[in-house]
Amino acid sequence: MARILKYMDLTYKELSQLPRDKTLLFSVVGPLEVHGPHLPLGTDVMIALEAMKRVEERLAEEKPGLTIVELPPIVLGSDPLPLPGSIEISSKHLSGALYDMAASLAKQGFRALILFDNHGGPRHQLAIYKASRKAWKKHRFCLLDPFITLFKMMVKHHPRLMELTGLPPGRCGDDPDMHAGTNETSLVLASHPDKVRPIYRELKPSRIPPHRGSAKLILRIAGLLDRLGLKEAASDLAHLANTLAWVNTKPITPYLGSPAQATGEAGEKMLKAAVQLTLEAISQVLEGECPLDKPLLSFLSFLA
């Protein structure tokens, strides 16, 4: 059985005795953010905590000899929905805080910190990726956020994810279901059913509004890149255009997608897929690798 410990509960002597080559650190990262009238501000953190718990349960069964040390959640995130209630942390500070944590843990001989996350903010993911790359380059410390990969798979309808979850486009956390819609409401129904306000059943679907201003311009550039054969950059930019079309339309609808179609079963499917993909990434980390994946819009990393 793998041991699960909490960093906060240990003394420095107990911490110093943990075998570095058989210890993984875990934490959650994510913002406090408006999630419609039906989900709490801590939705991203709650979902990530549930995914972490499930991964720990699997590792406890499957990896005898492994020690997991949970750090308290890092409740920081960039690019939350810009409405009162959300707490915005600049990507520069997020990236700096995560890198400093990683460097400090690396100095103690630890090798990896796995982050559980449920936030798709563009500069949030760019900031984490930036911190991860620096931590790996400077310290060979693996700061890994597997949600970066999962989110990309959701947005791009990756065949493996669609097969793992059996969820259709429009209900898998892709652009039309980007925020507090079917997928995210389902995830909270599966993980914290008592936290979902019953009004979710009456909420009308919220769709991506017509692209205007910067969203329209970015969508045009995406079309141009697509015609030039730069498919990945084109689809990343189309995602950015969809995001901007939504958040730049005033008043902002505080969710995107259809909460009324959410079910606990759909949430279970997505959680199971998240756990599976995270366990696969952790297996690579235990082999000494660090499977860092570029986030969406990685060519805009200068923005973070």
Question: Least CB distance from residue 208 to Zn ion, whole Å?
Answer: 17
How far apart, in whole angstroms, are the C-alpha atoms of residue 203 and residue 180? 11
Question: Least CB distance from residue 151 to Zn ion, whole Å?
Answer: 11
| Residue nearest Zn ion, Cβ-based | 44
How far apart, in whole angstroms, are the C-alpha atoms of residue 291 and residue 10? 29
What is the rounded end-to-end Cα distance, in angstroms, of the chain?
40
Give the strand order in the sheet containing 23-29.
3-6, 67-70, 23-29, 112-117, 142-144
Nearer to Zn ion, 2 or 188 (CB): 188
Question: Least CB distance from residue 175 to Zn ion, whole Å?
Answer: 14
Nearer to Zn ion, 99 or 146 (CB): 146
CB 175 within 8 A of CB 29: no
Nearer to Zn ion, 44 or 174 (CB): 44
Nearer to Zn ion, 47 or 290 (CB): 47
Q: What are phi and psi of 166, to 5 degrees?
A: 70, 15
Q: What are phi and psi of 27, to 5 degrees?
A: -155, 175
Question: Least CB distance from residue 10 to Zn ion, whole Å?
Answer: 31
Nearer to Zn ion, 23 or 258 (CB): 258
How far does Cα 292 stand from its chain's mean position? Answer: 14
- Contact set with Zn ion (CB under 5 A): 43-44
Question: Least CB distance from residue 202 to Zn ion, whole Å?
Answer: 21
From residue 125, alpha-carbon distances to 7, 40, 122, 206, 234 in Å are 25, 22, 6, 24, 18
Question: Least CB distance from residue 180 to Zn ion, whole Å?
Answer: 6
Residue whose structure tokens are 């329209």: 216
Nearer to Zn ion, 135 or 150 (CB): 150
